[in-house]
Structures are given as structure tokens and as C-alpha cells.
Amino acid sequence: MPCYPNTSELLLAAREALLERLAPRLPEDYRLDALVIANILAIAAREARAGEGPRRAALARLRALYGEDGEEDEARDDDARLLALTRRLAADIRARAFDDDPGRFEAMRSHLVETTIAALRVNNPRYLEVEGLA
């Protein structure tokens, strides 16, 4: 049974109260803080709504890039695996490990692009609109 109201709805209620009721009553010095907090609440709400999807997709891409099966281990910790594979990817990129394999090079590049776009969908969807990628 999902929580009711869900996390995203709760955070957006908090954001609305902050922006519409509290911020106008704050002294000017504190208004920037209020706007930053409102933005953080919006990010958290989008992240809650996106759920596990983006992380699972990233893990699947990295498993494909590194030829991992990943199905056999039911008790696996996906977040730890995602971090470990991302660490390996970062080190491999620095070591130019993909330079001689155009197929894997392209897979690496498109993983980076997709991960970045997924992060922007959560952190700053307006930026994606400006960039024509929304």
C-alpha cells in the first residue's frame, strides 16, 4: 500500500505553503533562502515521483557495458552495484579504456548523455527546455 498522500504530493504542499504564505512575510534578507528551499522541495518532489526508474535504467546500461548478467543474484544491493560500476566507469574513462572499441565507446557516451538528461529531469527540467531536450 503506497503512502497517502505520496511523498511528492507532501513536498509540493510544503513548497506551496512556503512560497505563497511564508515567503511574502519574510524580511528581504531571508527571501533568497526561501526560494532556494522551494527549489529543493521541487527537486525532491520530482525525484520521489521518478522513483527507482532512472537508477535502474542506469544500472542496466552499465551492466550491459560491462557484460554483467545481474539476474542471478536476488539479494543484490542495486545502489551499491550502481556506485561500484560508476566508479569503474570513471576510472576507465580516465584510462581511455574505450578508445579502441567504437561500439563500447558509443555505449559509454550514450550512457553519460542519458544519465545526465535523467538527472536534469529531476534537478532542473527548465534547463532541458531551454536546451530543446525536454
Partner 1 sequence: MAVTETGAGERGGDAEMRARLADFLARETGSAVSITRFERLGGGAIQDNRRLDVEIAEGPFAGAHAFVLRASRPAQIAFSHSRAHEFALLRAAWAAGVMVPEPLWLCEDTGIIGTPFFIMRFVNGTALGHKIVRDSKFYKLREKLAERLGEELARIHSITPANLPEGIAAEALDFLVPPSPAPAPAAITAYRRFLDEHPLPHPVIEWGLSWAEAHCPEGEEIVLCHHDFRTGNYLVDPARAESGGLAAILDWEFAGWGAPMSDIGWFCAKCWRFRAHDREAGGLAPRAPFYDGYARVSGRPIDDAAVRFWEVMAHARWAVIAIAQCERHLSGEESSVELAAIGRRLPEMELEILRLTDMA
Longest dimension (CA), the chain: 60
C-alpha cell at 65: 557495458
8, 45, 66 from 2: Cα distances, Å: 12, 15, 35
Judged by beta carbon, residue 25 or residue 96, the one nearer partner 1 is: 96
| Residue 120 and residue 128 in contact, taking contact as beta carbons nearer than 8 Å | yes
Restricted to residues 97-126, the positions that interact with partner 1 (CB under 8 A) are 108-109, 112-113, 115-117, 119-120, 123-124
Q: Is 37 in the site for partner 1 (CB under 8 A)?
A: yes
Residue 74: CB minimum distance to partner 1, A? 26
Amino acid at 50: A
Residue 75: CB minimum distance to partner 1, A? 24
Residue 72: CB minimum distance to partner 1, A? 25
Q: Find the binder of partner 1 among 33, 52, 77, 79 (CB under 8 A).
A: 33
Judged by beta carbon, residue 5 or residue 31, the one nearer partner 1 is: 31
| Residue 78 and residue 55 in contact, taking contact as beta carbons nearer than 8 Å | yes
Residue 103: CB minimum distance to partner 1, A? 17
HSE toward the beta carbon, residue 41, CA cutoff 13 A? 17
Q: Is 64 in the site for partner 1 (CB under 8 A)?
A: no
